[in-house]
Structure formats: structure tokens, C-alpha cells
């Protein structure tokens, strides 16, 4: 199965557009694990087990593991996700953006060491920073396009030339990803939920690509507006998938012993909101 096939299968199987982001911060763990980085795997595995039938994808953020020297726990977690939720794809959120032989090594890390189904990338060094990942046929790569952070305004909505009618940077990235860069149909785009009008613009420029949309939940993105702007379907089938990520509001829904059950309730609530918003 290609990554796109995996997304569509998980969407149908779990009736979901929700991606749970796995951003483990030991200082925010429930009381029994609080402050203990050796419990990163235990915490994340409990979240995975509680939400596996509610999601379209999981998205571990590599920095939260590397900062605590927990790469071995990430490897163990990746294996657990493949076993516990074999039909749910895993997006490794790494935002790599180097070129040449270094990009090749990062691709080995994502797809061979960790066994991810897709990875997030920064495209700002050009196509040669993306190409090594496309050698892994069937794997996915999401390019940063219009991100949810305020600093994204510094670059992404700026026009390429100071001439009316020229595309904005994020529009140019979307057009490249839909067109000449998408050699094997592997690319998707990252667009923040805090910009629904720009999600709609990206969807117009990239009508078939999967969109990874962070920012729903703690970051304040509107779930209903996000789905209406980005998801497309016809005849009951998805034609342009979206993967709507929520992290903190699910992971830290409770600081007590019931943290996994609370995460499950929050995930179900968000999943149902997203499903109800489909046009």
C-alpha cells in the first residue's frame, strides 16, 4: 500500500480525519510519570492504545524524543504502533531540510531506522532537499507550505517578486508539489488550521494532494472551518484527504491516572466534530 492508500484506508476504517500528535513532555505527564523521561514510551503507548481506532494517523515529533535522549523509546514506540494499529499510517514529524548526501541520511533515518510511512520536510532549499525521500516509493513527504505559527508571516505569504499578480511563496510551493516535484504521487502539504482561507487557496492549487493540518485544539484552529476548506470528496469517496492534527489537548486531557481514558474521550469528541463538518 502507498501512503495515500494507507490514509484512505484509515479514514474509512476509523471514520476519522484526526491525527494524534505524539509530543511527549515529561513535565506535563500525569502524576505517576511526571518529570520522568524514561516513561516516554509508556505514556505514548498508552495514548496510542486508547486512540488507535479513532485516528487517520499518528504523528510523533522527533525533537521531543531526541531532547530527552529517548530515540530508543521512539524506535520501540514505532514498532508498537505498527503492531497495535497496523492500518494507521505514521508520520514522522522531523521537518528536515538539508541537501545531497545529508538529505539521504535523513531519509534513511525516517524510513529505515524508524520505519515511518511519511515525513515532514522543509522545501526552502529546493527540490534537491526533497528528492532523496522520493526514492522510497510508496512513502509520503509533507512539505511545509503555510504553517500555523505567527512567524510564518515573515516569508510564506510574501510575493516572489514585488509585482502585482505574482504568486505568494506558499502558493508557489503548493503549485510545485502538485506539479513538477510530485514525481511519484508521494507529496503532501502542511497548512495550518489557523488560516482556513489559505487552506482553501492551497486546495485550489493542489486539488488532489493530502494536507497535514496542525493547529486544531490548543492552538485554536477551528475544526469545522478546517474541514470545509480542505477536505474534498465525491460519491462517498475522499478525493483529496486531510489529516487534522491535535496534540496537547488530547495528550494532556487529564493529569491523573485516567489520562488515557481522558485522551480517548477528547480524541473521540474531536474526531466526531471533524466528521460532522464534512460537506
> Tens digits of per-residue pLDDT, 118-142?
999 999 999 999 999 999 999 999 9
- Look over the chain and give the mean of its residue pLDDT values, rounded to a whole number: 92
* Integer CA distances (angstroms), 123 to 81, 109, 170, 204, in order: 28, 18, 10, 20
Looking at domain 3-276, its CATH architecture is Alpha-Beta Barrel (3.20)
Q: Which residues of 204-213 are buried (b: 16+ CB within 10 A; e: fewer)?
A: ebbeebbbbb
CB-based contact 47:19 (threshold 8 Å): no
Question: C-alpha angle with apex 232: 231 to 235, nearest 5 degrees?
Answer: 135
Q: What are the backbone dihedrals phi and psi of residue 139, each rounded to the nearest 5 degrees, phi first?
A: -85, 160
Distance CA 68, CA 16 (A): 31
Which residue's C-alpha cell is 477551528?
Answer: 222
**Positions marked active-site:** 95
CB-based contact 48:80 (threshold 8 Å): yes
Distance CA 15, CA 59 (A): 18
Task: State the chain's maximal CA–CA distance in angstroms.
Answer: 58
Q: Of 207, 278, 238, give the one whose Cα is nearest residue 9.
A: 238
Domain boundaries, the chain: 3-276
pLDDT of residue 237: 87
- Residue 167, pLDDT > 60, answer yes
Q: Of 11, 14, 19, give the one whose Cα is nearest residue 142.
A: 19
Distance CA 106, CA 132 (A): 9
Q: Which residues pair with residue 222 across a beta bridge? A: none
- Strand-strand pairing, 237-240 and 232-234: antiparallel
What dihedral do alpha carbons 149, 153, 157, 163 form, nearest 10°? -170
- DSSP state letters, 220-253: -B-HHHHHHHH-EEETTEEEE-EEEEE-HHHHTS
Number of Cβ atoms within 10 Å of the Cβ of 151? 8
Distance CA 113, CA 23 (A): 19
CB-based contact 209:16 (threshold 8 Å): no
Distance CA 260, CA 54 (A): 13
* Mean local confidence (pLDDT), 165-190: 92
Q: pLDDT confidence of 263, banded at 50, 70, 90? A: very high
Which residue's C-alpha cell is 492504545?
Answer: 49
pLDDT in tens, 57-105: 999 999 999 999 999 999 999 999 999 999 999 999 999 999 889 999 9
pLDDT of residue 149: 64
pTM of the full structure: 0.93
Amino acid at each position: 500500500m502507498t501512503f495515500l492508500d494507507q490514509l484512505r484506508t484509515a479514514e474509512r476504517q476509523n471514520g476519522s480525519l484526526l491525527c494524534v500528535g505524539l509530543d511527549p513532555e515529561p513535565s506535563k505527564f500525569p502524576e505517576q510519570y511526571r518529570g520522568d523521561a524514561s516513561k516516554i514510551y509508556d505514556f505514548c503507548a498508552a495514548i496510542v492504545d486508547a486512540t488507535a481506532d479513532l485516528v487517520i494517523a499518528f504523528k510523533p515529533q522527533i525533537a521531543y524524543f531526541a531532547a530527552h535522549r529517548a530515540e530508543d523509546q521512539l524506535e520501540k514506540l514505532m514498532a508498537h504502533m505498527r503492531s497495535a494499529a497496523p492500518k494507521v499510517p505514521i508520520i514522522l514529524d522531523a521537518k528536515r531540510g538539508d541537501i545531497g548526501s545529508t538529505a539521504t541520511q535523513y531519509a534513511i533515518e525516517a524510513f529505515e531506522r524508524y520505519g515511518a510511512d511519511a515525513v515532514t520536510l522543509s522545501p526552502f532549499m529546493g527540490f534537491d532537499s526533497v528528492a532523496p525521500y522520493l526514492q522510497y516509493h510508496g512513502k509520503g513527504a509533507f512539505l511545509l507550505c503555510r504553517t500555523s505559527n505567527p512567524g510564518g508571516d515573515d516569508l510564506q505569504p510574501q510575493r516572489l517578486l514585488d509585482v502585482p499578480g505574482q504568486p505568494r511563496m506558499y502558493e508557489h510551493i503548493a503549485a510545485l508539489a502538485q506539479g513538477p516535484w510530485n514525481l511519484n504521487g508521494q507529496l503532501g502539504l502542511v497548512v495550518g488550521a489557523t488560516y482556513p482561507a489559505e487552506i482553501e487557496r492551497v486546495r485550489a492549487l493542489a486539488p488532489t494532494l493530502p494536507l497535514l493540518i496542525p493547529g486544531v485544539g490548543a492552538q485554536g484552529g477551528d475544526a469545522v472551518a478546517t474541514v470545509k476548506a480542505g477536505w474534498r470528496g465525491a460519491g462517498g469517496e475522499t478525493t483529496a484527504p486531510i489529516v487534522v492534527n491535535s496534540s496537547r489537548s488530547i495528550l494532556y486531557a487529564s493529569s491523573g491516572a485516567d489520562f488515557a481514558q481522558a485522551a480517548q474521550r477528547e480524541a473521540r469528541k474531536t474526531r466526531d466534530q471533524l466528521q460532522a463538518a464534512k460537506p
